[in-house]
Amino acid sequence: MTVAVLPMNIQDSFVAPETPPKLEVFTERHLERIEQLNRLDEQTRFEMKVVASVLPFRVNRYVIDHLINWENVPDDPIFALTFPQRDMLEPEMFEQMAQLHRDQAPKAEIQALAWKLRHQLNPHPAGQMELNLPMVDGKVVEGVQHKYRETALFFPSQGQTCHSYCTFCFRWAQFVGDKDLKIASKEADKLLAYLAEHPNITDLLMTGGDPMVMKTKHLAPYLEGMLAPKLAHLQTIRIGTKALSFWPYRFVTDPDADELLDWFTRLTDSGKHVAVMAHINHYREMQTPVFREAVRRIRATGAEIRTQSPLIKHINDDAAVWEKMWREQVRLGMIPYYMFVERDTGAKYRFEVPLARAYEIYRDAIRKVSGLARTARGPSMSAGPGKVEIQGVAEVHGEKVFVLRFIQGRNPEWAQRPFFARYSETATWLHELTPAFGEKRFFFEDEFEQMKRSRGLAMLDTAEVGA
């Protein structure tokens, strides 16, 4: 088999294949069927198997054949983005699972250890299960998260997988088969009713997983419901997706691609704003002709494409990568939106970058692009209290500090309010920072603690009612 290795420059225009490609995926059960992995030594393949026993693995033929430069493996960024690596697990965790595999332990024993290890990896960071699930009449609205006043998230059950999985994914718990870790709903009526009862919600983000794995016929009831007069306050429909990178044929040659894009047009014609929130982690993902054709077709519907990515060690922790990525996104008509900090969950042991270094990379990249690319905000932490942006490093009265602000907060009054933390070379998340200037607490901490206590009491009351 000939492997298509992309050059580092942009390829020719898209030419539709005579036979539209079909999605072919590989999981941890199929590692031996990926012939390119024969380039790797036996120990490396064993380590992949061990890690894939704990964290989710799924990759498709398009990624394997058209995005990964196999001459540069294991250092290739797209390989690091999609294939398991030993240090995705801390050494002790890895060794526990590795020993079971060496002993050829029964499947049930491997699964039991996997369950135990997953629960040690902070599967739902930032209070997703405790603080973000809305309640109506004392009952949780399944599949919905409502953290910020104007924006609700919805997890359609048919969209809780992806065309390929990212190794750094902060929603990895959606994919491992543990029902107690999964957020999802297949009831469109409950979602639409919740939106109708909350006229302050102007934006809905459909997320997962990836809603673009859904057939259009399954997506349509949700989209059609959003056209109802009672949801006139819903201005923007966001669709979080990695499909542009991992399966751009979804928008080009899939059997229901035209039907999907017709829905985008119908929504935009009705006055709704459709925003495709594209997760693009490296400029290499944008270099295939079918990617650019997918972008063209989406934009022709009136929808916008906004791009976002965490800053990830081994993949894009280089200002030159971000500069090139943002320049190309603007050239293709996409809008750079966020540089996130890798969340404190899952495989963070391998991928997290200190906040000080993250700010340096952001600053070095953003100052080399035009104003049209400076729409990208960051580095931003999606932490429990809200989205916290590192605005800079300064020295005040002889003390070196991080200058921070909330882009979004659980209390909207926190937004845009600057605050200061002592500078740290090693901190990777908000909870590792301490207030500057001798302060004991950040300004929001007391109120946030009260929110958590109130929510805990509400959840307790619900449990007692249902007991």
Domain assignments of the chain as residue spans, ordered by start? 25-118, 352-467
Residue 143 and residue 157 in contact, taking contact as beta carbons nearer than 8 Å = yes
- The pLDDT value recorded for residue 423 is 98
- What confidence category does residue 455 fall into, taking pLDDT thresholds of 50, 70 and 90? low
Q: What is the mean pLDDT of residues 365-388?
A: 96
**What pLDDT digit, counting tens, does each position of 276-331 carry?**
999 999 999 999 999 999 999 999 999 999 999 999 999 999 999 999 999 999 99
Query: Does residue 5 register a pLDDT over 60?
Result: no
- What confidence category does residue 437 fall into, taking pLDDT thresholds of 50, 70 and 90? very high
pLDDT, averaged across the chain: 90
Distances (CA, A) of 277 to 242, 347, 368, 437: 8, 23, 24, 39
Query: Does residue 35 register a pLDDT over 80?
Result: yes
- The pLDDT value recorded for residue 132 is 67
Residue 20 and residue 249 in contact, taking contact as beta carbons nearer than 8 Å = yes
**What pLDDT digit, counting tens, does each position of 318-342 carry?**
999 999 999 999 999 999 999 999 9
- The pLDDT value recorded for residue 428 is 96
- The pLDDT value recorded for residue 9 is 43
Q: Give alpha helix (H) positions in 182-237.
A: 188-196, 216-225
Contacts (Cβ under 8 Å, ≥6 apart) of 314: 77, 80, 85, 350, 351
- What confidence category does residue 454 fall into, taking pLDDT thresholds of 50, 70 and 90? confident
Query: Does residue 395 register a pLDDT over 50?
Result: yes
Residue 343 phi, psi dihedral angles, 5° rounding:
-70, 160
Contacts (Cβ under 8 Å, ≥6 apart) of 286: 245, 280, 292, 325, 328, 329, 332
**Lowest-confidence pick of 68-72, 187-191, 450-454:** 187-191
User: What tokens were used for 215?
Assistant: 């057939």
Does the pTM exceed 0.85? yes
**What pLDDT digit, counting tens, does each position of 75-99 carry?**
999 999 999 999 999 999 999 999 9
